Amino acid sequence: MRGLSAFLLLLCLQRVMTDAATARRPNIIIIMADDMGFDDVSFRGGREFLTPNIDALAYHGRLLDRLYAPAMCTPSRGALLSGRYPIHTGTQHFVISNEEPWSLTLNATLMPEIFQRAGYSTNLVGKWHLGFSRPEYTPTRRGFDYHYGYWGAYIDYYQRRSKMPVANYSLGYDFRRNMELECRERGVYVTDLLTNEAERLIKDHAGKDQPLFLMLSHLAAHTANEDDPLQAPEEEIRKFAYIKDPNRRKYAAMVSKLDQSVGRVISTLANTEQLENSIVIFYSDNGAPSVGMFSNTGSNWPLRGQKNTPWEGGVRVAGAIWSSQLEARGNIFTQPIYVGDWLPTLAHAADIELEESDAHKLDGIDLWPQLAGAADAPHVPREILHSLDDVWRVAALQMGQWKYVNGTTAAGKFDTVLTYRELDDLDPRDSRYPVTVRNSAASRALSRFDLRRLTQQRIAAIRRSAAVRCADFQRSCNPLLEECLYDISTDPCEQNNLAYSSRHSDVLAALRRRVRELRAGAVTPGNRASMPAADPTWHTCTWESFELNKPGTVPLECDYHGVPCESNV
Ligand SMILES: *[C@@H]1O[C@H](CO)[C@@H](O)[C@H](O)[C@H]1NC(C)=O
Ligand SMILES: *[C@@H]1O[C@H](CO)[C@@H](O)[C@H](O)[C@H]1NC(C)=O
Ligand SMILES: *[C@@H]1O[C@H](CO)[C@@H](O)[C@H](O)[C@H]1NC(C)=O
């Protein structure tokens, strides 16, 4: 009898809880890494340093096996927030350097605006990088109720200043709370600082009726300024003493801090009873720059190329999603998905109907039914334009299994596999990998919602299916001289050019035609030349909205600590 009433009570409770969950739109939490490599998470089998929290997100939720993004910060963030290809927002060529007066087109309705209108509290913590030379370009004028972080391309991990790799522009401070300079807690490691702020927002939100949209847009694992590019707390670096290369050791510490951030955010959601009704996404904005400008030692192994190249190493990124609404959580998601898909996909998940005028401009497609549905849902055939930059003459287009590449960046210097997978200097935790993952903060929080237990076998099976298997090398292609065609479903490492085979001439012609069609519909790139008035020396050593703000009369010497925060605020 007691058993029966307990059972009925449970049924009742379950009914109440389900009703509450459906009545309320889900919280959307997007955690973005900057310049982190495809193989710098351990869920594909890398063992040099582990990322147990990120791996747990993938194993309890869905590992996004073929998540694609434009190969650089500005176009990638622009595609995420607008749901459109960079050729449709003027961000198709390179990035916005801090001293340049332009932005993501003001024409586009951005994801935070859409969620704001639907009643969400919209918050950006961390990097923006979509323009700030006028106040109307900045996050709180583009749909975010709140911004805590920086406007530009990157900052120092402790002092929050940046110097662009452009002659004659000074070091400038770049950290704000909404439009105001934020000077408190300087010297705190930025990955922790941003995570603290995300935790505060999540805690403040507990018990409120309003749903939360939070984009935690990390600095990690981007480099800081050129004179000290890789920065992490000493005690974190010491954990990776077994890695011989001192730069790679620091990078491991930077990624480890990022991984802890993912664990902290998920635990905070759980501890405040908000996890069940949240969608949590983690991904990197683009591939790592393994070598060259802003090189952080990140690895896109075994893929070709890196950040700012048309190859898979630039555009296929590490990512995972969790939501209690995913029927097939605990399964890898192999459907190709583009960052521009998040806008319609998350709008669907939140039951937000897009206005016709916004919906018809989208290049992204709604993949919520596939993500939330059965593990074996058939793939939706789709197109992804990776790059169409007529300044550098690069075109890269994927249609279904086919990928077309015409032209490349940096005269082809970064077109090969630029890193290897470390097999000797291994993370000591690797010998107990499943235990390490299950003991992570993320796994402890997420396992409450598991449909089946995350066993050692299950972990091994997902990790095995996420391993990329390159086909044998067959026929090379020089994209500076010829068109290249790959079947990336069987040749993910782009080693067999099919453009010459007559069997593929129709496919090649179709891709070529589509590139021309897309080119005809492209807007002019928004890029503008650097403006001397942007120099922080004219704005009390701060990166300001320089197009409209009257410059100071006396340029300051900005190469020392604290000018904006200690003597001018
Ligand atoms: C923005 O809209 C204007 C006016 O409709 C149009 O001329 C311009 O090409 C658009 N720009 C972009 C980048 O879409
Ligand atoms: C930078 O400043 C130096 C010295 O003042 C000057 O000679 C040079 O032309 C400047 N370069 C640019 C790109 O403005
Ligand atoms: C391929 O690149 C060449 C050289 O830049 C260019 O002339 C041609 O139009 C490109 N083809 C397409 C379809 O973009």
Q: Which residues, including other chains, have CB under 8 Å from residue 233's CB and lie 6 or more apart?
A: 189, 253, 257
Residue nearest to atom 2 of ligand 1 (CA): 107
Looking at residue 1, what is its pLDDT? 41
Q: Are 321 and 61 in contact (CB under 8 A)?
A: yes
The ligand 1 atom nearest the CA atom of 89: 13
The model carries a pTM of 0.94
Q: φ and ψ at 127, to 5 degrees?
A: -80, 145
What is the full per-residue pLDDT of the chain (569 aa) written as tens digits? 455 555 555 544 444 444 444 458 999 999 999 999 999 999 999 999 999 999 999 999 999 999 999 999 999 999 999 999 999 999 999 999 999 999 999 999 999 999 999 999 999 999 999 999 999 999 999 999 999 999 999 999 999 999 999 888 999 999 999 999 999 999 999 999 999 999 999 999 999 999 999 999 999 999 999 999 999 999 999 999 999 999 999 999 999 999 999 999 999 999 999 999 999 999 999 999 999 999 999 999 999 999 999 999 999 999 999 999 999 999 999 999 999 999 999 999 999 999 999 999 999 999 999 999 999 999 999 999 999 999 999 999 999 999 999 999 999 999 999 999 999 999 999 999 999 999 999 999 999 999 999 999 999 999 999 999 999 999 999 999 999 999 999 999 999 999 999 999 999 999 999 999 999 999 999 999 999 999 998 888 999 999 986 666 667 777 655 566 664 43
Residue with tokens 């009643």: 119
Using a 6 Å CB cutoff, which residues line ligand 2? 167-168
Pocket of ligand 1 contains residue 90 by CB under 6 Å: yes
Centre of ligand 3 from the C-alpha of residue 517, in Å: 13
From 439, 321, 456, 429, select the one nearest 50 (Cα to Cα).
429
Q: Are 68 and 338 in contact (CB under 8 A)?
A: yes
The ligand 1 atom nearest the CA atom of 106: 1
Q: φ and ψ at 177, to 5 degrees?
A: -115, 115
The ligand 3 atom nearest the CA atom of 404: 13
Residue with tokens 């319609």: 344
Looking at residue 557, what is its pLDDT? 76
Looking at residue 167, what is its pLDDT? 84
Amino acid at 215: M
Tokens representing 65?
Answer: 């096996």
Residue nearest to atom 8 of ligand 3 (CA): 406
Looking at residue 561, what is its pLDDT? 55
Looking at residue 569, what is its pLDDT? 36
Amino acid at 294: F
Cα first-last separation, the chain: 70
* Chain center to CA of 72: 10
| DSSP-based three-state secondary structure for 147 | strand
Domains and CATH numbers, the chain: 25-416+447-461 (3.40.720.10)
Pocket of ligand 1 contains residue 344 by CB under 6 Å: no
Residue nearest to atom 10 of ligand 3 (CA): 406
Residue with tokens 């410059």: 551
From 27, 36, 69, 408, select the one nearest 219 (Cα to Cα).
36
Pocket test for ligand 3, best of 87, 402, 406 (most atoms within 8 A of CB): 406
Tokens representing 464?
Answer: 């095995």
